[in-house]
């Protein structure tokens, strides 16, 4: 029997988290699961409508995101967290509070993330409009022991989602779900 879980796709801004989250949602739906994707950009517009991205604000934001994910999982809803989560402490909080937690490190060199960045996050940091960009002024603390690691330079979002699905199925998270080919 399948049970709810939370998967945190963590990585630098523009590393490919959202693209993977989109495909993963489709794959989980094909397997018969209704999943909630918590996108940090969308959630931030509600929790902190005029974000400063300061440390205290980020701490509050990620506590709120983890709380929401935990409540959804507790009520049987699988969750994909699409968020940088630049501090390990944020992801450790999720690991400690959410019974079935999966951390996926989405890796990509900073230079490639900067090239991919359609939102102008890195340009804002380089031009002084922002002083808290993870990977530039603010450190990004990569996971020490993620359940999975996906290099988005070598792996397309579809392949990454398929690897995550195989991992979930092998560990019983998708028991009873439809097999997807």
- Residue 142 sits in a domain whose CATH number is 3.40.50.300
Say if strands 6-10 and 148-151 run parallel, antiparallel, or are unpaired: unpaired
Whole-angstrom distance, CA of residue 130 vs CA of residue 142:
21
Q: What is the pTM of this model?
A: 0.92
Mean pLDDT over all residues of the chain?
91
Cβ-based burial of 47 (10 A; exposed 0-12, middle 13-18, buried ≥19): middle
SS3 call for 11 = coil
Does residue 114 fall inside a structural domain? yes
Q: Which domain holds residue 21?
A: 6-170
Does residue 64 fall inside a structural domain? yes
Interval 4-40: pLDDT, tens: 999 999 999 999 999 999 999 999 999 999 999 999 9
Does residue 176 fall inside a structural domain? no
Does residue 175 fall inside a structural domain? no
At residue 181, the pLDDT reads 54
Interval 114-165: pLDDT, tens: 999 888 777 777 776 777 777 777 889 999 999 999 999 999 999 999 999 9
Does residue 179 fall inside a structural domain? no
Quote the radius of gyration of the chain (alpha carbons, Å). 16
Does residue 178 fall inside a structural domain? no
In the chain, the number of structural domains is: 1
Does residue 133 fall inside a structural domain? yes
């Amino acid at each position: 029997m399948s049970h709810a879980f939370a998967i945190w796709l963590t990585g630098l801004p523009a590393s490919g988290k959202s693209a993977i989250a989109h495909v993963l949602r489709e794959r989980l739906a094909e397997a018969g699961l209704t999943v909630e994707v918590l996108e940090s950009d969308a959630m931030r517009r509600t929790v902190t409508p005029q974000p400063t991205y300061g440390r205290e604000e980020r701490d509050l934001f990620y506590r709120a995101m983890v709380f929401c994910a935990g409540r959804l999982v507790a009520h049987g809803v699988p969750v994909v967290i699409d968020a940088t989560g630049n501090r390990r402490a944020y992801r450790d909080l999720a690991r400690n509070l959410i019974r079935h937690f999966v951390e996926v490190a989405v890796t990509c060199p900073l230079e490639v993330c900067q090239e991919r960045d359609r939102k102008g996050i890195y340009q804002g940091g380089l031009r002084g409009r922002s002083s808290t960009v993870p990977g530039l002024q603010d450190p990004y603390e990569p996971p020490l022991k993620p359940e999975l690691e996906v290099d988005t330079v070598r792996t397309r979002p579809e392949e990454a989602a398929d690897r995550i699905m195989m991992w979930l199925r092998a560990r019983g998270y998708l028991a009873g779900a439809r097999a997807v080919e």
